[in-house]
Every structure is written in structure tokens, then in C-alpha cells.
Amino acid sequence: MAKKLYLIGNLKMNMTRQEIEPYLDSVAEVANNANNVVGVCVPFVYLCMANKKLSNSKALYGVQNMNSKESGAYTGEISPKMLQDFGTKLVIIGHSERRQMYNETDASVNEKNKVALSYGYTPIMCFGETIDEREQGREFDRVRSQIELGIDGLTAEDVKRMIFAYEPIWAIGTGKTATSDQAQEIISFAKGIIAEKYGIKNEDIVMLYGGSLKPSNATDILSKKDIDGGLIGGACLKMEDFKSIIYTNVE
């Protein structure tokens, strides 16, 4: 039996209204005909459109970040309370680009996870090591730290409601890709940390691969035992590539 995969596109800061309208129509159509779980995280300005196009489909949709505060003097930010008006399901939290470019920390990731869960959203918590950390043999220490600090204070039921995404930072937007064995090794390790902490099974934890997943490597990576899907960046921008990944079937 083919395992059910979670395949979630991260549009990042891409697409115009003219481009995204037909794109979302295609996402809805593909999601309704796929055996896998399909999702897309859009720029804030297109959240209303995602609600209109996807709310009656099987596709999940959401955003790429949020503030942990409900309201206040936070110019340029979007609160979890605002997101309720648009049927938001998914919130990416702690993406490597947010950590590197906007100084997000493990503490802020933890706070956002708690708030997202309290609002009924599904946090997609990202984690992963840099090229320096990997070359210095510190990838496991870094992953353990990010996982433990990111889920601090959460319950077993909380983490079962979350999605985790492993991002080898050295493979984001570089064209490089972790081998399927490297991805499996880290994801298995990360699942083990959570499973041991909460006394739950690896099968109760949803963990995606998020480093330059594309049609040419999707089957190889997604067939690994502990990899439950992908958080897809560049490849999701071309609908044919995204569709090819969505229709991946692995045992």
C-alpha cells in the first residue's frame, strides 16, 4: 500500500495576482484528485484568494509566518487573530530564511508554535543545519537543540498536531540536495528525540523534507521510511513540477 504523503508548497515571495489565480485553481483540482495531502502557503496578500479558491477543495492552505502577538504596535506584522478570518490551516514557523534574514530564534519559534496551536492552526516547524555545522560534525547537536527548544512546554497531543520540516540549509536555493540517506538519517534522529520525550511512536510524528525537492529526486527521497512528505520551494512554482511531485506514489 502506498503511504500517504504531505506535499506542501511554499510560494515564498513569488507570483502576481494574474499568476496566482490560475495557479490556485490548479492546486484545487490536483488536490481533489490526489491520494496525497496537498497544501500551499501563500504570501499574506493572497490569503483571501486562497480562501476563495481552496476552501471548498481538499487542499490545505496557510501562510509563511505570523507574529505571536494578537495585536499591538508591530508595524508590518500579521497576527494569529487576523488569520482566523481567512480559514488559515497552516503556518510555517522558523523557516531557515526567517532565521537567517530576520533573526528568528528557537525561543521565538517555540512561542509561535504555542500560539499557532492555541488558534487551531497546524504549525510547520522548520529545523536544520548550516554547511559549517555539517562540515564540523555538529549537525546532530544543532538539530537536537532546535527540536528540544522548539517544542519545549508542548504536550504529546500538541506535537501530534504539528508538522516538522527538515531543511538542510546548505541545500536551500543552492541547487544542492541532501542525499536520500542523509535526509533519512537526520529525520529519523529528529523523530527519535520527539518520540523519546513524549513516549509516542515515530508513526505519530509527521516530518517532511525541505531541501530542493523536485520531480527528479522526489521518489528516491519520499520513499525513505521516516520521510512523510515535502515542504517544496522552487519546484512548487511551476505547476507541472508540483503536480509531478504531488502524484508521487511510494510504498
Say which DSSP state 40 is in.
E
**Residue 188, Ramachandran bin (φ over 0: left; ψ between -120 and 50: alpha; else beta):** alpha
Residue 19 a catalytic site member: no
**Residue 178 phi, psi dihedral angles, 5° rounding:** -65, 145
- Secondary structure of 107-140 as H, E, C letters: HHHHHHHHHHHHCCCEEEEEECCCHHHHHCCCHH
- Render 42-109 in DSSP notation, one character per residue: E-GGGHHHHHHHHTTSS-EEEES---SSSSSS-TT---HHHHGGGT--EEEES-HHHHHHH---HHHH
Question: Which residue in 77, 97, 167, 185 is the catalytic one?
Answer: 167
Question: Which residue in 70, 95, 104, 203 is the catalytic one?
Answer: 95
Residue 95 a catalytic site member: yes
Which residue from 200, 205, 247 is spatially nearest to 226, judged by alpha carbons?
A: 205
Which residue from 53, 60, 52, 63 is spatially nearest to 13, judged by alpha carbons?
A: 63
Which residues are catalytic, by number? 95, 167
